[in-house]
Structure 1
Amino acid sequence: MAKLILTTFVSLDGVMQAPGGTQEDTSGGFEYGGWQVPFFGDEDMGAFINEIFDRSGAYLLGRRTYDIFAGYWPRVTDPQDPIAARLNTLPKYVVSTTLTDPAWENTTVISGDVPAEVARLKERMEEGELQIHGSATLAQSLLEYDADNADGVHGNAAPGLIDEVNLLVHPVYLGSGKRLFPEGGQPRAFELIGTRTTGSGIAIHTYRPGGRARFEDFDPPPAA
């Protein structure tokens, strides 16, 4: 059974929209696309991304991210490029209700019960991780599904669909845009299982989702 790993770039205020280009995703009037590009030459970040892709066995992508990847990676034909080699050959699953005939090799469309299909994919896979990269709407929906179905408190919870979350937190504040954790989501606890900082100041945190978040009060001071 495979783990489902979510990896995404986020700003200091949690925005994950359009990191890779000014026109990548302008929905909602977003004007700050391409905010990740100035950090692209960070060798430490590149090494981490390569580590992630080295563990991949298949990819689960939202439609917008799939279109971005499909428009770029098939044109990278260098066999020494570790990311291109994997993306162009390994199975890809795209969640979409409108895509019917994907041109990118080894692509399967998921259009029905997404959580159920993701659970089946995890069960069927025998090698490598099932990985989500970016894919804001898909990531939000699966995290919310897991939160809605969490049946324990932090440290004592049944596993959900997403097994780990890698947040690459960039030292930039955007003030608007799609966030990984939007307003109104279910409170959820996470356990930090790894962290590192890159040369350009990107903080890479790896979390394991827990159960429901806990809310308590401080004990009152003793009576005089």
Structure 2
Amino acid sequence: MAEITLTTFLTLDGVMQAPGGPSEDPSDGFDLGGWLVPYADDETGRYVAEWFSAADGFLLGRRTYEIFASYWPLQTDENNPVASGLNRLPKYVASTTLDKAEWNNSTLIAGDVPEAVAELRKKPGREIQIHGSGRLAQSLMAHDLIDEYRLWIYPVVLGKGRRLFADGAVPAAMKLVDHKLTSTGVAVHVYRPAGRPTFGSF
């Protein structure tokens, strides 16, 4: 069975909105986009390349799909593991507003997204990767459909913006299975779901 993995960039206060640039996602008046750029280094590229090389496909929300589709088809270096993977492999796009997805090997999921993803998960393979795609990730988290979380925690606090683990998220315990630290102080934590939280008292 394929696994659904989520890779996303987060601030210390959990914001995931517009990490790559001011124009990436200014919805709800968000004006602090581009917050990860000062922390980019060679290790970031290496870790990203390692994970992309394990993908058999990608699962994207509409906004992330549109951002990716405007850039990656123009990157034609076959030795670039991100570009070659994204341009070649299947892409499943969860959207109720797109009429078509023209990027090579893209398929729209317009109906019941958790049900469609549950079916994808039953297929043989390695990973179907989610990158960013916060609303999509939240809907799948609510149905226990994410097998691994790869959370890049950046040493910055924004005080506003869309968060991955927003109010109302389903309570969940996680098991830390790997961690890395980049030269610029980005902590990369890899978690797998470990059921529901347990509680006690001191």
Counterpart CA distance in 1 for 2:5 and 2:131 is: 9
Q: Secondary structure at the match of 2:194?
A: strand
In structure 2, the partner of 1:138 is 136
Instruction: Work out whether 1:165 is the aligned partner of 2:164.
Output: no
Counterpart CA distance in 1 for 2:138 and 2:183 is: 29
In structure 2, the partner of 1:187 is 171
Instruction: Work out whether 1:117 is the aligned partner of 2:116.
Output: yes
2:93–2:101 CA contact under 8 A, matched in 1: no
What is the CA deviation profile of residues 98-136 of structure 1, one whole-angstrom value per residue up to 9, with x for unaligned ones?
212211010000011111110111112x33310000001
- Can you give the 5+ residue segments of structure 1 that lack an aligned partner in the other structure? 147-160, 219-224
Name the TM-score, length of structure 2 as normaliser. Answer: 0.97
Name the TM-score, length of structure 1 as normaliser. Answer: 0.88
Aligned residues: 202
Deviation at 1:166, TM superposition (A): 0.3
In structure 2, the partner of 1:74 is 73
- Can you give the 5+ residue segments of structure 2 that lack an aligned partner in the other structure? none
Counterpart CA distance in 2 for 1:53 and 1:117 is: 22
In structure 2, the partner of 1:8 is 8
2:58–2:130 CA contact under 8 A, matched in 1: yes
What is the CA deviation profile of residues 139-187 of structure 1, one whole-angstrom value per residue up to 9, with x for unaligned ones?
11111222xxxxxxxxxxxxxx111000000111111001010012222
Say which one has the larger Rg.
Answer: 1
2:14–2:164 CA contact under 8 A, matched in 1: yes
In structure 1, the partner of 2:107 is 108
2:141–2:170 CA contact under 8 A, matched in 1: no
Instruction: Work out whether 1:212 is the aligned partner of 2:196.
Output: yes
Instruction: Work out whether 1:96 is the aligned partner of 2:80.
Output: no
Give the percent of matched residue pairs that are identical in Structure 1 and Structure 2: 54
What is the CA deviation profile of residues 59-106 of structure 1, one whole-angstrom value per residue up to 9, with x for unaligned ones?
000000000000000000112211101100100000001212211010
Alpha-carbon RMSD across the aligned residues, in angstroms, is: 0.9
In structure 2, the partner of 1:127 is 125
